[in-house]
Amino acid sequence: MKILVTGGAGFIGSAVVRQAIAAGHEVVNLDALTYAACLDNVASVAESPSYVFEEADIRDRAALDRIFAEHAPDAVMHLAAESHVDRSIDGPGDFIETNVTGTFNMLEAARKFWIAVGKPARFRFHHISTDEVYGSLPTDKSVMFTEETAYDPRSPYSASKASSDHLVRAWHETYGLPVVLTNCSNNYGPFHFPEKLIPVVILNALAGKALPIYGDGSNIRDWLYVEDHADALLLVLQKGENGRSYNVGGENERTNLELVETLCAILDDKRPREDGTSYKEQITFVTDRPGHDARYAIDPSRIRTELGWRPSVTVEEGLAKTVQWYLDNEDWWRALQSRKGVGERLGVQT
């Protein structure tokens, strides 16, 4: 299968590209190389005859039409998006332009191509989204997000992703475009851009800096190892039912404080502080993010029952692997720390 992957130089997109190539697919990686993208993420497959890179912006409809016509993909995996909640608070316009208008352009370019090649039933437009579109859950762990949960986005980021989800469903219902959708929980793992919580904690700890935790650290997230996620995405692309959505979760709920304390314990073991004390001494509680959702948790019953998928990596295993990856790949993350806004506190405006 030839797959057009948008955002393939980003965190999740690059994991999809690497796994797709390993599975024998051809990949066209479309990426605008904005601040959070890095071609080093796909360096391991860059010389493969099954891999092609196209530097293009999903806001550029003419470029999209050219890429579809030139490469004639069998499927699209649409991951390109602005994704950092804090940045969306400071600059929501970029999120609307990329996540909403960009998705509209992708849908129209895909529809034009699909019609031109005779509307093949095998074609799929796979839209990759987030559990944040569902809003905030109570701390009662008996309540979880399902595919039937009403949308209730609370940040500019989640609102832009909710909008894009609605567009994809509308293009399926109105025009018959073959689509599948997935909504995932928080990802982590190798190549995670160093402005998100887990890499921030690891790198700040190593630098002797404060480990910032919003509010009192009680916010709960479900953590999904990125390579497990990529495996699920490729499965949904090939086996998911046309027009259906699937929630992809890690089955690993942790409070932010628990998560940070776990990372500190791993670092205590792998790279002890010179004074012999724990990295927990660096934990600092900071002013909470505006509109910070209390809890996200995914019920993955549909993808487990219908497609037979479950995560293979526990949060303890995944965090240990992630910490080791950052310890082993200093050249990668140091090069990214100089990019605009990385390392700064963002999203404090109200």
Instruction: Write out the catalytic residue numbers.
Output: 131-132, 157
Point out which residues pair with 128 in neighbouring strands.
182
Rounded to whole angstroms, the Cα distance separating 188 from 239 reads: 25
- 14 vs 41: CA distance, rounded Å: 6
Which residues are registered as beta bridge partners of 53? 29
DSSP 189: S
Residue 321: both structure tokens together: 């692997």
Q: How far is CA 251 from CA 136, 220, 258, in A?
A: 17, 12, 15
- Alpha-carbon gap, residue 158 to 86, rounded angstroms: 11
Strand (E) or helix (H) holding 27? strand 26-31
Report the interhelical angle of 197-207 vs 256-270 (nearest 10°): 40
For residue 190, what are its two tokens? 């190798």
Would you say the C-alpha torsion 52, 56, 58, 61 has a positive or negative sign?
negative
**CA 300 to chain centroid:** 17
Joined together, the tokens standing for residue 218 give 């009680």
Return the ∠ at Cα 311 (arms to 307 and 317), rounded to 5°. 170
The edge-to-edge listing of strands for the beta sheet with 2-6 is 51-55, 26-31, 2-6, 75-78, 124-130, 179-184, 245-248
| Amino acid, res. 249 | G
Residues 6 or more apart from 49 whose CB is under 8 A from it?
Answer: none
Q: How far apart are CA 265 and CA 260, in angstroms?
A: 9
Q: Which two tokens stand for residue 23?
A: 């599975």
Largest CA distance in the chain: 68
